[in-house]
Structure 1
């Protein structure tokens, strides 16, 4: 990537699977003099808007992003999409590479899978769900209440955060 990103057409997106990988890759490319920035779930809304504008105006070669740079982003002349690691599904891959080349004669897409990809996706899949013990506590609270409690009330009664609770 360090050797070839500057030869890719126009500006683009380099997707990474984790926040750490996005930040580390952006730093390595920036240290090599390539104008890139990281865009992740940790990026605040104001900075996200500024980064999206920088990419749309070709002020950066690329944004090194997690899936936080999602469906709402539109740059018809996006010249390339590179994946450092395989996305979670063929649908996710198709949606992300589909951002490239909509208003250009051609665009480059490149998938650079890693041996760790499967472990990363297994981690994401299992870390977001509550443990069996916590799920049992949620079910116990629902049963004691007669089957109906709001997510906010459940959250206050069991040791499960809102997002995993909603998943459950």
Structure 2
């Protein structure tokens, strides 16, 4: 009886949280009405509770990580269910929207298939995909596994440290 009561209470609490999150993450837009009335177009900034990085450059799979037309760029791997990704979301978003030296691409690892994953892992010298992760790619889409410590950051602290190094132009063998 106690277990049933606890399960019911947990379900009510969790469903209430889900409803609160979905209501809080609605992103209003007036683009349709603005076109018909010549009003200024406004779109709300992404909220800190959503990890979709809406409006920013995304890639569609692991096989695209080293397949960009620009030779030097940044790829940020994340997951919607990752607590650490959520913790640093705003800092990563702020960096991606203000950093202009190289393009920043996003890859939600939950929404892609495994095509190219083994090649990505081999190229970066990793044995598993971990998020959050930031990869610096240079020289026609290449990655030097010898520079993994400087050009690949796994974990929220490491990603934030790499962002600071990029902003300070202090990443060795890259820029």
TM-score with structure 2 length normalisation?
Answer: 0.22
